[in-house]
Structure 1
Amino acid sequence: MARSIVGSGVCPARKFRVGVRYRRGVESDTLVCLNPASAAGRTGRERQAILDAIESKLGPVDYEVTRGVGDAERIAAQARRTGRARLLVAGGDGTINEVASGLLGEDEGDGPAPALGLLPLGSGWDLARSLALPRALEAALDVIAGGETRQIDAGRAVVRSPDGAPRERFFVNEASAGLSGDTIQVVGRFAKRVGARAGFALGAVAAILGHRPLDASVEVDGERLYEGPISLVVAANGRCFGAGMQVAPKARLDDGRLELVLVRGLSVPSLLANLPSLFAGTHGRHPAVSFHAARSVSIEPKGRALYADLDGESVGTLPLRAEILPGALEVFAGADAGAPA
């Protein structure tokens, strides 16, 4: 039997109205953006129990349910325009990415952005690893109820959309290309069967087996860093991606810079042999791997254009240009935020 997200001791699920809940005459200062597809659909199946758990810790809340791509971005933008104080994200890293895009895409004249509360209801949970947030729902709610927040950086990226036009997006955890983008194209069919962490590992193996290094140039802060074959390039704000791969072990969310991780072109056998080091965060020992502090990064393909991804979601193709936005978001985080998770 699948383990409940909310655990035992929480009110059992009741019948509920689909979509939106606002209290008559009184708008709560807390809005929950709930992605029912997260955690392999368990968030949707246990929706009422999750909301009961939230209200037992934080009092009355309103909620909206996402129905498709871009919906969380709309919900977040509306939350900022209407002056919500707290926006809780009941979903995974992809939902967090959309929410951040909705907040950061609004004009400052629309008022301050709400503080973000991250609930452990996704599969990868990579951003939250860098924030040292608990994986238990009630413990995560205790962090939010405690009221302690911190400012973290975010990033702005421009990629090429399917119609060839530039597309601006935001990210919180990472922007990357190469093996990461190829992995995302296949990981879904594995993750649904074996879970996120094993699914990403199997997806990475599948991507490696068909890997051809990308011929590209990389610039950091306007200066040419490297030109040649690349297997993976990551502009990291957080430490982890791919459901726990420690791709940038020294990255921090609040230092006003990106950690560029460059893996020069490697053979298939070498990539397979070194994949475990990516989970352990020891891949930097390999001579083809280097780390570079950056405020802006540009990746320009010389031949075929590979997929670019932001926070684990495929958003277009190269070229990719990314820049840091220092202190752009306020998030609830406990005293151990930033400590290794």
Structure 2
Amino acid sequence: MHAVTADDHVPIPDGPVAVLANPTAGRGRHRGLLPDLLDRLSAAGRSVRLLRAGTATEAESACFTAVAEGAGALVAVGGDGTVHRAMQAVAGTSVPFGPIPAGTGNDFAVETGYPADPRAATDVIAAALRDGRTSPVDLARMASEDGTVRWYGAVLAAGFDAIVNERANRMRWPRGSRRYDLAILVELARLRPRRYTLTLDGERVEVDAVLVAVGNGASYGGGMRICPAADPTDGLLDVVVGGRFDRRTLIRVKPRIYAGTHVAHPLVRTYRARTVTLVAEGITTYADGERSLDLPVTITATPRALRLLR
């Protein structure tokens, strides 16, 4: 976890606090907490408006509408996917943001210093609203060749993990976590290095790899420290490339990602850059765990792109 410093010079806009809540986050285990969390936010002296949405696309649209209609702040209750959807509406704006970790994976919130407990995180956000306090943090801005732009706060996966997610999303059976487990087995059987072209601040690098991640933050997938040295306040992206792993080696190295010690493996290379262009055939990226843009993409570290309520 990296320190996020306070920035007391930019006032929080007037207007209600818009709240996006995902009742299915974390398999619904925090569903009953929502009324208490809303009460805690209201204690900051601001009106609180719960956004209505039935799908992920509707949730993102509701956040953009709330910001356009004058929301003074945006709060997301859920996991990294919910946070990712919400931050699209406030990235690069003066509207501050508060992530309340209530999902299976809460990497962005934890990495930026929020308590893992939803109630405690809500109290931090409420105190920041009451005191008019925000803290700037970097985001990664990704752009495709057709001009589509997305933002992410944690990690972009563009290798084996992204391929597994894509496989799991296409499967109709089985349901739940077993579908992801089966997708891993299928893709392990098909494992092969792919040719990637990386352009790092203008320097071109070609590699054969099975794991590629570009981190604004250190972790993804609920605490896997894939980019262990990444700091979301340093204005840089950390790129981790796992080279020509065979199945046995990948299975052996994968558990080391939780501690971040995989970067010491001789087949792993790390880079740091402000701008990264990533090219490979047939890869759909996953940003903050959400299906995102097809390669090629250009990712740019954008300092102070998000104001956190801290």
Partner of 1:234, secondary structure, is strand
Counterpart of 1:141, as a letter, is T
Counterpart of 2:161, as a letter, is S
Q: Specify whether residues 241 and 44 from structure 1 end up closer, same or farther in structure 2 by C-alpha distance, changes over 3 A only.
A: same
- Taking the TM superposition and a 5 Å limit, the aligned residue runs for 1:245-264 are 245-264=224-243
How big is the alpha-carbon RMSD for the aligned residues of Structure 1 and Structure 2? 2.7
Distance 2:198 2:158 in 1: 12
Do residues 192 (structure 1) and 163 (structure 2) align? no
From 254, 260, 268, the equivalent of 1:281 is 260
Distance 2:252 2:114 in 1: 31
Do residues 171 (structure 1) and 156 (structure 2) align? no
Distance 2:46 2:277 in 1: 45
- Contact kept, 8 Å, 1:216 with 1:299, in 2: the verdict is yes
Q: Specify whether residues 200 and 51 from structure 1 end up closer, same or farther in structure 2 by C-alpha distance, changes over 3 A only.
A: farther
Do residues 238 (structure 1) and 222 (structure 2) align? no
Matching residue of 2:247: 268
Task: Name which of structure 1's ranges 49-58 and 68-77 shifts more when overlaid on structure 2.
Answer: 49-58
Do residues 155 (structure 1) and 136 (structure 2) align? no
Do residues 293 (structure 1) and 280 (structure 2) align? no
Distance 1:190 1:138 in 2: 34
* Structure 1: gaps spanning 5 or more residues: 1-26, 106-111, 334-341
From 90, 97, 104, the equivalent of 2:84 is 97
The alpha carbon displacement at 1:319 in A equals: 1.4
Counterpart of 2:188, as a letter, is I
Distance 1:145 1:158 in 2: 34
Q: Specify whether residues 202 and 60 from structure 1 end up closer, same or farther in structure 2 by C-alpha distance, changes over 3 A only.
A: farther
The alpha carbon displacement at 1:170 in A equals: 1.6
Counterpart of 2:49, as a letter, is D
Partner of 2:210, secondary structure, is strand
Distance 2:201 2:134 in 1: 30
Counterpart of 1:122, as a letter, is G
Counterpart of 1:30, as a letter, is V
Matching residue of 1:320: 297
- Contact kept, 8 Å, 1:31 with 1:63, in 2: the verdict is yes
Distance 1:45 1:139 in 2: 16
Percent of pairs with identical residues: 27
Q: Scaled by the length of structure 1, what TM-score is found?
A: 0.76
* Structure 2: gaps spanning 5 or more residues: 1-13
Counterpart of 2:299, as a letter, is A
Q: What is the number of equivalent residue pairs in this alignment?
A: 290
Distance 2:62 2:141 in 1: 20
Matching residue of 1:215: 195
- Contact kept, 8 Å, 1:75 with 1:102, in 2: the verdict is no
Distance 2:127 2:25 in 1: 25
Partner of 2:116, secondary structure, is coil
Distance 1:41 1:285 in 2: 37
Counterpart of 2:21, as a letter, is L
The alpha carbon displacement at 1:56 in A equals: 5.0
Distance 2:148 2:15 in 1: 34
Deviations 1:131-168 (A, max 9, x none): 131121221112112214311111211247xxxx5532
Distance 2:125 2:296 in 1: 38
Task: Name which of structure 1's ranges 46-55 and 91-100 shifts more when overlaid on structure 2.
Answer: 46-55
- Contact kept, 8 Å, 2:44 with 2:127, in 1: the verdict is no
From 280, 283, 298, the equivalent of 1:306 is 283
Distance 1:191 1:289 in 2: 33
The alpha carbon displacement at 1:260 in A equals: 0.9
Distance 1:190 1:142 in 2: 39
